[in-house]
Structure 1
Amino acid sequence: MAFEELLARAGGVGLFQVLQICTLLLPALLVPFHILLENFSAAVPDHRCWTHVLDNSSEVPTNLTREALLAISIPLGPNLQPDQCRRFRHPQWQFLDPNATAANKSEAATEPCVDGWVYDHSTFTSTVVTRWDLVCSSQSLKALGQAIFMTGTLAGAFVWGFLSHRLGRKPMLVWCCLKVAVAGAGAILAPNFFIYCGLRFLSAFGLAGIIMAQATLMAEWTTIRRRDVTMTILGCTYSTGQMALAGLALALRDWRNLQLAVSIPFLAIFLLSWWLPESARWLITTGQPEKALQELQKVARINGHKEAKQMLTIEVSQENMSNRVLSATETQGSVLDLFRVPVLFQRTCVIALVKMAADGFLQSVGRLGSITGPLIKMASQALPLIPPLTYGAFPIASSLVLLFSLPETQGIPLPDTIQDLEGGSSTAKGNQQEGVIMESTWF
């Protein structure tokens, strides 16, 4: 039964798993805050050009209404509303004459907003857009900032996927939380937009590591029968975070306050997550059985299994871990195994089409989708049917590919090695039955 039996001897599902889940759900609640943050912190409020007649108190005529002053200062845009990016070069006083024709209005000379913009602060007191005037000719910089953020998650998925296998899951989680806290809080001090984008890139880089580490630790410390419930709770927590962000943005209308509110909690998580044990499964498969047993014994003590110190020994671990798992410690896998091994190659292609070493690679493919999404939306200006066809056809095709290409994983132990993947369905079914028998009923 390999690792599942050792986990059962450590108490199966107990107090430790409850405490671990509660700890790991904290970053899961906050991660969506950063991913969706710029929907609020970079919101584009209504705006118009700054003009002397309207906005210089010493030049504002007192005998005219604001609507009249707006009419002589700002031309109408394509939607017959005041243009957001241009103003009249000189006040058009003749427009106050009720007999003025539309032809005369269209012939008036205009110019860009050379003196800046006036923003509507009724919804947000300050945003990234108002901070650096990311409107009109500079509006593409906002999309650039979002693309840089998603590129950070792409790079992070590659790097942390590799480091997770080499250095472990816990160090990656701990230091990524610190990185997100520092880079996220530092963004409010950015002197210009490009430094802000760089700090957002670093935040996204750390977020990719947190996403992988928390899911992996939860899966590898949970027994087979409880794993589906655990991962469902994780997914629901992500959704809860997405909903909670709207309420937080409603309460904090200044982008700096909102940025701090979603970043500083990661510093607390950085301090709290030190108590978490490293994945014993990872320690065993990387040739560190002594450390793995220490972590298992720690978990057993938390779960109330006082006799686990005698039950969990090196001899027991060697007896329960199969030969192929122990031999795997002699060779280190790499991301190239995703393409060299037929069964891994097939599953990699299928999951890459849809969107968890392998986890980092597949998340990287998902980030490519996030980067190309805005480009597809931009293409709708020329071909309006591209977004609905793309967004509709791909999920349908992906679901069919998943249905016919990937095996069922419910009640199946996690594979420790490539040999486990190639072992065949009969072995998996046997392991499933054995896992059900060995499931601890302590919790």
Structure 2
Amino acid sequence: MAEFGDFISAVGEFGRYQKLLILLLCLPQFLTAFHMIGQVFMVVDVPHHCDTSWIRAVGPNLTEEEQLNLTLPRDADGAYERCSRYSPVGWDLGSILAYGLNATESCRDGWVYPSAQPPSLLTEFDLVCDKKDLTDISQSVYMMGLLLGALIFGPLSDRVGRRPMFLTSILLQALFGVGAAFVPHFYVYMAFKCVVGAGVSGTLIVTLALSTEWVGVSQRPKAVLISHCCSALGQMILAGLSYGIRHWRLLQIAGSAPMFALFFYIWVLPESARWLVTKGRVEEAKQLLQKAASTNKCTIPAGLLEQLKPEIQSKSGSVLDLFRKKHLRKVTLIMSCTWFADSLVYYGLSLNVTGFGLDIYLTQLAFGAVELPARISCIFLLQWFGRKKTQALLLLLSGLICLVITGIPEDQPLATTILAIIGKSTSTAAFSTSYVYTAELFPTVLRQTGVGLCSMSARVSGIMAPLILLLDQYHRAVPMAIFGSVPVVVGLLCFLLPEPRGTELVDNMGVAASQLSNRRSSARDNTGNGEDLEKS
């Protein structure tokens, strides 16, 4: 019986049909960057102080400077305190001028912001002083949405199908993304962002499955990484969009509403033929393969098409199968750690765009600009050096750069930003490598479940990354030390993984075990030791 890879070869490994599919999968990726880090530009810190308008009742002719001088204490540097004021008293102005005010309190009547400042999340919901940590907590809540999305959409796309889960993910992003622009309270905003995160997670993991399952062996890295390049372009667009639109509600709409335009996917997005075969829906798979062949101007030999039989239907796997099988358990544990490290250093650098000392819009533009060549270079690195070496070395390099940043003096923002940009580039490449690597290591019946579990691991570190940034109040080097040490350790673990370069995707769990065994045996025969074969 023919392997499914033979059918992909017959219809064309990367013909017009696959290119159109990749184009469809790329379009949502332009907005991924906005959902991931757009909030950074909605909470830019601005000068603020406590509202002390109470003194106007006794001194209506006071200038603004006189009012502040009488009602606000000063810090050690002589600047007005941002989070405290002198307690109001029932004295007349003469007594206040003569004796002054001593007792202080928190900003019970709110804060005053620059009048020319466009409405932002920070100014509208007073995310300052004792509520300033809500900004980072909100990012963690969004990452929790990504975690829930991986938990839900990964297994469901293995059971229900890739296509319905992709359409559901787009709907969630559109509805709740736009809805977040109209929320009355910040906690409602966080809840909406959590749902958006779930939708983004579903889009990412289903894109990975469709990209790998519709193309040939040699084209898998290209298919996956093209959509990642669109995400990098989205980061560059985000820099310009956030610079031009300073009103946070308008920015939220501009970054979310275009998702409604993708509803035409209901009529044009195909299901994975490979997945249909594993579910015994062979006639549907044949129709899709014939449509792909027609689009690619190819012909599937009649004899070959007849070999696609319902008997190859595979039993659905569960998340427990990832740990019952020895070969899958090792892959699952190490790849989960890999995704954890990828996400930790990637978001640790991305969300700290305001902490490197230079203009945040230029820094974001640079972050997006370096992601593009980083993701493109992965296509060649994976072909030249294989998955294992590329994954390990990129993680090691990104971790070491973060550790170097900890030793850069605080008064050298340019050097810190340059290193951060290089670190962002290597961490981006490491993350992209993980997507390709993971899709190749898990069998089709468990591919989305395995990717979903690894994605959950990444989302856990994504939740942690904004909270780790809060540790800079103890020492500025602590967050970067954590972001650097984890990928170094995990990078070394990656050398224990098998090398799937040049092999066909595996459909069943039993076949996955035998192929892994064959690679090891081949490696021993050719090298005389127990190392995994680097080339298939």
Q: Please report the TM-score for the alignment, with normalisation by the length of structure 1.
A: 0.84
**Does 2:317 match 1:333?**
yes
Deviations 1:357-396 (A, max 9, x none): 1011110011111112233333444466543332222111
Give the fraction of aligned pairs with identical amino acids, expressed as a percent: 33
- State the alpha-carbon separation in 2 of the partners of residues 430 and 238 from structure 1: 40
Q: How does 1:118-133 map to 2 (within 5 A)?
A: 118-120=112-114, 122=116, 125-133=118-126
Q: 1:384 to 1:138 in 2, by over 3 A?
A: closer
Q: Which has the higher contact order (CA 8 A, sep 6+)?
A: 1
Give how far 1:352 is off.
1.2
2-side partners of 1:129 and 1:228: how far apart? 41
Q: Return the match for 2:485 from 390, 393, 414.
A: 393
Contact 1:88 1:110 in 2 (8 A): yes
What amino acid does structure 1 have at the position aligned with 2:102? A
CA contact 1:177–1:266 (8 Å) conserved in 2 = yes
Q: Which runs of 5+ in 2 are unaligned?
A: 340-434, 436-448, 523-536
Can you list the C-alpha shifts for 1:400-424, whole angstroms capped at 9, x where unaligned? Answer: 111x211223222111111222123
Match of 1:317 among 280, 304, 308: 308
Distance in 2 separating the partners of 1:14 and 1:70: 69
Which residue is 1:436 aligned to?
Answer: none
Secondary structure of the corresponding residue to residue 27 of structure 2: helix
Q: Please tell me whether Structure 1 or Structure 2 has the larger radius of gyration of its CA atoms.
A: 1
Question: Are 1:169 and 2:170 an aligned pair?
Answer: no
Count of residues in Structure 1 that have an aligned counterpart in Structure 2: 411
The reply to whether residue 370 of structure 1 matches residue 364 of structure 2 is no
C-alpha spacing 1:425/1:335, structure 2 compared with 1 (3 Å)? closer
Q: What amino acid is the match of 2:513? A: E
Secondary structure of the 1:126 match is: coil
Q: Could you tell me the TM-score, scaled by structure 2's length?
A: 0.70
Question: In structure 2, what is the Cα distance between the partners aligned to 1:182 and 1:309?
Answer: 45
Cα distance in structure 2, aligned partners of 1:399 and 1:249: 35
CA-CA distance at 1:73 after TM superposition:
2.8
- Corresponding residue of 1:415: 506
Q: Does 1:308 align with 2:300?
A: yes
TM superposition shift of 1:228: 1.5
Q: 1:304 to 1:69 in 2, by over 3 A?
A: same
* Alpha-carbon separation, structure 2, partners of 1:430 and 1:215: 30
Cα gap change, 1:51 to 1:386, in 2 (>3 Å) = closer
CA–CA distance in 2 between the matches of 1:79 and 1:420? 69
C-alpha RMSD over aligned residues: 3.0
Task: Provide, for residues 86-128 of structure 1, a one-character-per-residue CA deviation record: whole Å limited to 9, x for no partner.
Answer: 222359979999xx9xxx87x7222222222112365x51112
- Higher mean C-alpha displacement, 417-426 vs 292-301: 417-426
State the Cα deviation string for residues 265-304 of structure 1 (Å, max 9, x = none).
1111232353011001111112111111111111112112
Q: Which has the higher helix share?
A: 2
| Alpha-carbon distance in structure 1 between the residues aligned to 2:93 and 2:294 | 84
- Does residue 87 (structure 1) correspond to residue 88 (structure 2)? The answer is no
Instruction: Give 1:312 shift.
Output: 6.0
Query: 1:69, CA displacement in angstroms?
Result: 3.5
**Are the counterparts in 1 of residues 7 and 300 from structure 2 also a CA contact under 8 Å?**
no
Cα 1:73–1:361 change in 2 (3 A) is same
Of 62, 70, 78, 1:72 maps to: 70
- Residue by residue over 1:43-72, the C-alpha shift from the partner in whole angstroms, topping out at 9 and shown as x without a partner, is 332211122279x6996526x4x4343322
Mean CA deviation greater in 200-209 or 232-241: 232-241
Distance of aligned partners of 1:301 and 1:59 in 2 relative to their CA distance in 1, 3 Å threshold: farther
Residues 424 and 213 of structure 1: is their aligned pair in 2 closer, same or farther, counting only changes over 3 Å? closer
Residues 14 and 366 (structure 1), Cα distance of their counterparts in 2 relative to 1, 3 Å cut:
same
Q: Equivalents in 2 of 1:6, 1:429: separation in Å?
A: 27
SS at match of 2:112: strand
- Check the 8 A contact 2:151/2:453 in 1, yes or no: yes
Structure 1 residue identity aligned to 2:481 = L
Secondary structure (helix, strand or coil) at the match of 1:409 reads: coil
Question: Contact (CA 8 Å) 1:53, 1:73: kept in 2 or not?
Answer: no
**1:438 counterpart residue number:** none
* Contact 2:86–2:102 (CA under 8 A) maintained in structure 1: yes
Q: Tell me which residue corresponds to 1:114.
A: 108
> What does residue 41 of structure 1 align with?
42
Q: Name the SS for the 1:87 alignment partner.
A: strand
Shift of 1:309: 7.9
Alpha-carbon deviation of 1:428? 6.1
Stretches of structure 1 that go unaligned for 5 or more consecutive residues are 432-443
Amino acid at match of 2:46: P
Give distance in 2, aligned partners of 1:163 and 1:396: 33
